[in-house]
């Protein structure tokens, strides 16, 4: 069953750094309703993105509705259709591939409701996209290959329902085609249940791989499955396995600092959420003259070498660590 969070934002308008005071005034004078369709609203990186949307929308007095679809494509299509029927002004797809949302996107397009995607890719009916998975995977996979010296065994924890993970897996596959001495095992996690899946797949995979036998690495297409793998390895005190994540959530960054996770890449999803509102404001001002496309924000690779500096420069990334 879908869980629906409705957040009514009544904060007074405050000036922000959008392109020009006329755009600010237009947005503030015209209350808008935004519907977010999330693949998992409680996952840390997704939650940061949603908060970015909420905070930026609050500055204009706009309302935000969040529908958590728990990984269900059918629920996502239904949620988009319901939002269109309700008469929202803008829709955000979080992570569901646009190729899986034909029904919902068609309804939005026919009703002239602009759709933005975060990690969902670009397609017909989509006005802007950010949070793409592929660019963030490349530096992490390259580091993994370098740390393994081009040979060894890798366990990849994948997820095919989400566009971000699909893109990241595609980039990993491209890179690994050049390394014939790397043996790759793939297991797909579920939403919900991804942390437990990470633990279970790791326990099964590592059972036939004794310490000191070869180079080992585990890669999660986002941090949480990798953190599940880490939990399993901690129970066995297996510090010989490199662990790599994506997104840079607070627990992953702390794990890098503690020496259990080898690297993650911090995706500033909060800024990406705020950027979505900035783009909606431009759409409101420019109409059909708005330039559709990708509006990406680069990530930062976090390793043992820069984790202390990173934590000082980006305290917001570890705000929930006690």
**In the chain, domain spans:** 3-131+269-291, 134-266+302-318
Distance CA 293, CA 93 (A): 15
DSSP string covering 160-184 = SSSHHHHHHHHHHHHHHTT-TTEEE
Cβ-based burial of 303 (10 A; exposed 0-12, middle 13-18, buried ≥19): middle
pLDDT in tens, the chain (322 residues): 333 334 333 222 223 333 344 445 555 557 899 999 999 999 989 999 999 999 999 999 999 999 999 999 999 999 999 999 999 999 999 999 999 999 999 999 999 999 999 999 999 999 999 999 899 999 999 999 999 999 999 999 999 999 999 999 999 999 999 999 999 999 999 999 999 999 999 999 999 999 988 899 999 999 999 999 999 999 999 999 999 999 999 999 999 999 999 999 999 999 999 999 999 999 999 999 999 999 999 999 999 999 999 999 999 898 755 4
Residues in contact with 311: Cβ distance below 8 Å, sequence separation at least 6, in sequence order: 253, 257, 317, 318
**Closest by alpha carbon to 154, among 116, 127, 132, 181?**
181
Q: For residue 252, how many other CB atoms are within 10 A of its CB?
A: 32
DSSP assignment letter at 27: H
Residue 192 preceded by cis peptide, ω within 30: yes
Distance CA 161, CA 74 (A): 11
Distance CA 130, CA 276 (A): 8
- For residues 210-248, one letter each, b for 16 or more C-beta atoms within 10 angstroms of the residue's C-beta and e for the rest, the string is eeeeebbbbbbbbbbbbbbbbbbbeeeebeebbbbbbbb
Pair of tokens at residue 10: 């009544």
Top CATH class of 134-266+302-318 equals alpha beta
- Measured in degrees and rounded to the nearest 5, phi and psi for residue 286 equal -95, -25
Decide if 3-131+269-291 and 134-266+302-318 have a common fold.
Answer: yes
Give whole-number Cα distances, 319 to 99, 138, 208, 249, in Å.
Answer: 35, 27, 38, 10
Top CATH class of 3-131+269-291 equals alpha beta
pTM for this prediction:
0.80
């Amino acid at each position: 069953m879908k869980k629906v969070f409705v957040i009514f934002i009544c904060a007074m308008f405050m000036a922000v750094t959008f392109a020009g005071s006329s755009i600010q005034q237009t947005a503030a004078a015209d209350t808008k309703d935004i519907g977010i369709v999330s693949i998992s609203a409680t996952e840390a990186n997704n939650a940061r993105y949603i908060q970015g949307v909420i905070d930026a929308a609050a500055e204009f007095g706009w309302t935000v509705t969040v529908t958590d679809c728990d990984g269900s494509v059918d629920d996502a299509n239904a949620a988009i259709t319901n939002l269109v029927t309700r008469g929202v002004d803008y829709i955000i797809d979080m992570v569901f591939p646009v190729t899986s949302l034909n029904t919902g996107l068609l309804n939005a397009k026919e009703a002239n409701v602009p759709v933005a995607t975060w990690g969902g890719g670009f397609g017909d009916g989509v006005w802007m996209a950010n949070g793409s998975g592929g660019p963030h995977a490349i530096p992490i996979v390259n580091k993994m290959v370098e740390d393994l010296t081009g040979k060894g065994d890798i366990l990849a924890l994948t997820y095919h329902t989400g566009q971000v993970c699909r893109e990241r897996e595609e980039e990993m596959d491209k890179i690994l085609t050049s390394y014939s001495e790397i043996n790759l095992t793939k297991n797909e996690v579920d939403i919900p249940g991804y942390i437990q899946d990470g633990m279970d797949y790791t326990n099964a995979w590592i059972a036939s791989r004794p310490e000191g036998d070869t180079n080992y690495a585990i890669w999660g297409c986002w941090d949480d499955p990798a953190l599940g793998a880490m939990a399993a390895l901690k129970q066995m005190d297996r510090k010989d396995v490199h662990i790599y994540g994506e997104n840079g959530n607070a627990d992953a960054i702390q794990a890098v600092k503690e020496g259990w996770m080898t690297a993650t890449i911090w995706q500033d999803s909060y800024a990406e959420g705020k950027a979505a509102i900035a783009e909606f404001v431009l759409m409101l001002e420019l109409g059909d003259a708005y330039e559709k496309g990708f509006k990406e924000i680069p990530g930062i690779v976090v390793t043992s070498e820069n984790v202390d500096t990173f934590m000082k420069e980006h305290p917001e990334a570890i705000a929930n660590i006690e």
